[in-house]
């Protein structure tokens, strides 16, 4: 009987270790990039209470496992294998200098490209992370040196080109500029800069099915919202390198920065979420067939607090909102019990639904060829992993039992230490606000 109890306790301990989940800090102005069924989160300004997280690799770069069902009260955040060893923290611009911009890229669309800002002079401007091989590389792009900031939204088109619209003064190849669109080809590995009729930070950008990009909202170089930022929107046609602007009508959202925009599943609607200022309404939709704004029908328990400087990605039938801040008191949504992840079911355009549970079943409608591995492979991996874990548990349990029996340490058995306590001894780094930083930055740039 005693043996059985011991065996059971050992199993529980081991299960706890294997099943250990990350509990990432609150953050804003970070990057969220979907690769297959993993939503990778990188960097950002973090909660001051968790300043150590800035330097802890597993809280800098991790992912949300969107291959399984989950409830937003218990999020499947996962650590990246060997991340502590592999993450090149010293080669990625820190938030203290303006951060990085990140987006999908690579010949097989299975990498994330990271664009450093202009302050980091001694490191490579572009780095990549391959999600399949779990390998980091410095990328040597020819052409101009791109600038990525955490207030610039990077977006990748269907040809592996990343677009970075700037919102400040900068110098490229000895030439001073006040605006520009960096276009970086992650397959042919080169980068150019194009003129742009607008200069923005904290904007939204959406890739339309026809390949055009739509730039919406955001603020000026001091992060002050552009007053007609939602009324006048800008379209960029990459094939003809042509800009166009449209004057929108309808229920035009009030000026705002720190917003996100995603493309609706029907391909003709742009869904705007959150922001730093504006009104208390979290959701607006722009119909791209007539450029008319409206407030969509949304049922279910939506967020109480408006969020800004968050990220939004479309995964399956959901718009998935991650983290973000709400004003000065950043953890207001957390302390009121709201999740770091919000799920909006956008499968029915006449009525969106806020959900607390995620269903990973792929959408059958609107299916586009994706680069994720065939399901059979995944099943193989899952079966393999499961068998591996069972074998591991068995081996560990048996050896633990053997050990306990041999040395008869029934009474003095100590709990297995967890790595959580290590963090407390690290020095605390104070984090300036993003506004302070961007302001300072702009000052030095003038």
Ligand X SMILES: *[C@@H]1O[C@H](CO)[C@@H](O)[C@H](O)[C@H]1NC(C)=O
What is the token pair recorded at 23?
A: 């509990």
What is the token pair recorded at 150?
A: 């955490």
Task: Determine if 326 is a binding residue for ligand X (CB under 6 A).
Answer: no
The site map against ligand X for 416-435 (x = CB under 6 A) is --------------------
Task: Determine if 109 is a binding residue for ligand X (CB under 6 A).
Answer: yes
Task: Determine if 25 is a binding residue for ligand X (CB under 6 A).
Answer: no
Span interacting with ligand X, options 31-39, 334-342, 374-382, 437-445, rule CB under 6 A: 31-39
Min separation Cβ 26 and ligand X, Å = 25
**Binding-site residue total for ligand X (CB under 6 A)?**
14
Min separation Cβ 207 and ligand X, Å = 9
Collapsing DSSP to helix, strand or coil, 260 comes out as: strand
Task: Determine if 67 is a binding residue for ligand X (CB under 6 A).
Answer: no
Nearer to ligand X, 315 or 445 (CB): 315
What is the token pair recorded at 262?
A: 């995603």
Report the side by side order of strands in the sheet with 298-299.
Answer: 298-299, 352-355, 341-345, 318-322, 311-315
Task: Please list every residue from 131 through 160 that binds ligand X, using CB under 6 A.
Answer: 137-140, 158
Span interacting with ligand X, options 33-41, 68-76, 89-97, 276-284, rule CB under 6 A: 33-41
Among 371, 386, 418, 433, binds ligand X (CB under 6 A): 371
Task: Determine if 245 is a binding residue for ligand X (CB under 6 A).
Answer: no
- Nearest residue to 314 (alpha-carbon basis) of 281, 344, 352: 344
Task: Determine if 271 is a binding residue for ligand X (CB under 6 A).
Answer: no
Pairing assessment for the beta strands 292-294 and 283-287 based on DSSP bridges: antiparallel
Strands (E), 212-282: 213-216, 232-237, 242-247, 249-250, 260-263, 269-273
Min separation Cβ 108 and ligand X, Å = 9
Q: Which residues contact 264 (CB under 8 A, 6 or more apart)?
A: 270, 271, 285, 346, 349
Nearer to ligand X, 165 or 265 (CB): 265
Min separation Cβ 56 and ligand X, Å = 26
Among 7, 13, 36, 302, binds ligand X (CB under 6 A): 36
Nearer to ligand X, 142 or 348 (CB): 348
Task: Determine if 191 is a binding residue for ligand X (CB under 6 A).
Answer: no
Task: Determine if 104 is a binding residue for ligand X (CB under 6 A).
Answer: yes
- Nearest residue to 216 (alpha-carbon basis) of 286, 306, 280: 286
Q: Is 115 left (phi over 0), alpha (psi -120 to 50) or beta?
A: beta
Please identify which residue in the block is written with the tokens 């391909």. Answer: 267
Task: Determine if 364 is a binding residue for ligand X (CB under 6 A).
Answer: no
Task: Determine if 351 is a binding residue for ligand X (CB under 6 A).
Answer: yes
Collapsing DSSP to helix, strand or coil, 54 comes out as: helix
* b/e map 188-227, b = 16+ CB within 10 Å: ebebbbeebebbbbbbbbbbeeeebbbbbbbbbbebebbe
Task: Determine if 289 is a binding residue for ligand X (CB under 6 A).
Answer: no
Task: Determine if 190 is a binding residue for ligand X (CB under 6 A).
Answer: no
Chain residues in the site for ligand X (CB under 6 A): 34-36, 104, 109, 137-140, 158, 348, 350-351, 371
């Amino acid at each position: 009987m005693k043996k059985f109890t011991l065996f059971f306790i050992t199993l529980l301990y081991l299960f706890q270790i294997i099943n250990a989940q990350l509990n990432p800090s609150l953050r804003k102005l970070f990057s969220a990039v979907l690769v297959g069924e993993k939503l990778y989160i990188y960097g950002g300004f973090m909660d001051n209470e968790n300043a150590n997280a800035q330097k802890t690799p597993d809280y800098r770069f991790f992912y949300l496992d969107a291959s399984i069902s989950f409830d937003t009260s218990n999020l499947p955040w996962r650590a990246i294998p060997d991340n502590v060893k592999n993450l090149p923290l010293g080669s990625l611009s820190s938030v203290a200098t303006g951060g990085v911009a990140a987006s999908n890229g690579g010949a097989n669309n299975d990498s994330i490209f990271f664009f450093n800002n202009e302050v980091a002079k001694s490191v490579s401007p572009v780095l990549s992370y391959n999600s399949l091989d779990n390998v980091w590389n410095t990328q040597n792009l020819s052409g101009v040196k791109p600038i990525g900031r955490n207030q610039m939204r990077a977006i990748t088109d269907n040809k592996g080109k990343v677009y970075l619209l700037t919102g400040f003064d900068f110098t490229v190849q000895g030439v001073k500029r006040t605006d520009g669109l960096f276009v970086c080809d992650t397959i042919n590995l080169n980068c150019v800069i194009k003129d742009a009729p607008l200069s923005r930070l904290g904007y939204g950008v959406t890739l339309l099915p026809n390949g055009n990009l739509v730039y919406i909202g955001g603020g000026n170089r001091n992060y002050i919202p552009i007053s007609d930022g939602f009324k006048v929107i800008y379209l960029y046609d990459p094939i003809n390198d042509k800009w166009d602007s449209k004057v929108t009508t309808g229920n035009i959202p009030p000026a705002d920065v720190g917003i996100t925009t995603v493309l609706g599943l029907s391909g003709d609607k742009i869904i705007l979420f959150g922001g730093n200022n504006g009104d208390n309404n979290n959701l607006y939709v722009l119909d791209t067939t007539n450029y008319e704004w409206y407030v969509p029908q949304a049922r279910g328990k939506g967020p109480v607090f408006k969020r800004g400087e968050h990220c939004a990605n479309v995964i399956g039938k959901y718009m998935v909102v991650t983290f973000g801040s709400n004003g000065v008191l950043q953890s207001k949504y957390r302390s009121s019990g709201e999740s770091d992840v919000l799920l909006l079911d956008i499968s029915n355009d006449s009525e969106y639904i806020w959900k607390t549970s995620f269903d990973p079943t792929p959408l059958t409608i609107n299916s586009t060829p994706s680069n994720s591995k065939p399901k059979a492979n995944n099943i193989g991996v899952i079966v393999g992993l499961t068998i591996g874990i069972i074998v591991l548990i068995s081996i560990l349990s048996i050896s633990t039992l053997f050990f306990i029996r041999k040395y008869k340490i029934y009474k003095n058995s100590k709990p297995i230490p967890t790595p959580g306590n290590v963090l407390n001894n690290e020095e605390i780094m104070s984090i300036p606000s993003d506004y302070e930083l961007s302001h300072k930055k702009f000052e030095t740039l003038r």
